[in-house]
Amino acid sequence: MTSVPADDSRMTLVEHLTELRNRLFTCLIAVLVCGAVVFWFYPQLLDFVSGPYRDVTKTIDSCRPDGCDLTAIDPLAPFLTRVKVATYGGIALSLPILMFHLWRFISPGLHTHEKRYAIPFLASAWILFLLGTVLSWFTLEKALDFLFTAGGDIEPNVVVDKYLNLVTFMMLAFGAAFQFPVLLVFLLLVGAINTGQLRRSRRHAAVGIVIVAAVITPSQDPYSLFLLALPMYLFYEVSIIIGRVMKR
């Protein structure tokens, strides 16, 4: 009886756990290194991020000609804000490394056709997330102007951690919303929905998109809502086109 040679590509449970531990450790080091870089350049980063706030407050009489500065009401707030920004920034900066190690860990368990789909999905999700964060940045000044003027003659005195939370959540909201076409194409691919259903549901989809945009937009201003809902609906139409192409 001829023995079947062992498959060297297979790993035992212990080997999988060891690999997972090593990759998690590498990812942690990457986050710490990138976080240290962000921590070092925090003054320049804060100056850049607070630019929209200063631009909006230039017309306030009590501010300098170049706008107001962000404030802090807690003596620990400036340092803790720097640590928080370094943590978030470290994760964002090291995200390509994190995604690479995630892919290397799961790819051996995927079939060839699954790998063929996984790479475009991961790349598209990453690019769309970046596009979403960029769009959120360009809507920030308009959002702040609306928020500061909608309440009447009230002089804004914005706390630094609240402002940075708003900027962070705006970027996350736009980045997450830009994953909408990835989700739709995935559902089309697995057969959960079809292009006919998407075409017939255009009106309901438009209303739903506006509602979702209104809920997830942290600033709750009409500019951000419109600039988030519009690309989401365009993504809806693009997904229908992609679904038609996939049928051929």
Instruction: Give the pLDDT confidence score for residue 10 in this predicted structure.
Output: 66
Instruction: Give the pLDDT confidence score for residue 219 in this predicted structure.
Output: 82
**pLDDT tens-place string over residues 207-242:** 999 999 989 888 888 888 999 999 999 999 999 898
Domain boundaries of the chain, sorted by first residue: 13-247
**pLDDT tens-place string over residues 84-134:** 999 989 998 888 888 888 887 777 776 776 677 777 888 888 899 999 999
Contact 121, 182 (CB under 8 A): yes
Residue predicted with more confidence, 68 or 183 = 183
pLDDT over 80 (residue 5): no
pLDDT over 60 (residue 166): yes
When pLDDT is averaged across residues 30-38 and rounded to a whole number, the result is 94
Instruction: Give the pLDDT confidence score for residue 128 in this predicted structure.
Output: 92
- SS3 for the chain is CCCCCCCCCCCCHHHHHHHHHHHHHHHHHHHHHHHHHHHHCHHHHHHHHCHHHHHHHHHCCCCECCECCCECCCCCHHHHHHHHHHHHHHHHHCHHHHHHHHHHHHHHHCCHHHHHHHHHHHHHHHHHHHHHHHHHHHHHHHHHHHHHHHCCCCCCCCEHHHHHHHHHHHHHHHHHHCCHHHHHHHHHHHCCCCHHHHHHCHHHHHHHHHHHHHHHCCCCCHHHHHHHHHHHHHHHHHHHHHHHHHHC
CA distance 224 to 226: 5
Instruction: Give the pLDDT confidence score for residue 114 in this predicted structure.
Output: 64
Average pLDDT, the chain: 84
User: Any idea which residue has 């229908």 for tokens?
Assistant: 240
- pTM, whole model, 2 decimals? 0.82
**pLDDT tens-place string over residues 58-90:** 777 667 777 788 888 888 888 988 999 999 899
Instruction: Give the pLDDT confidence score for residue 95 in this predicted structure.
Output: 86
Per-residue confidence band for 2, with pLDDT thresholds at 50, 70 and 90: very low
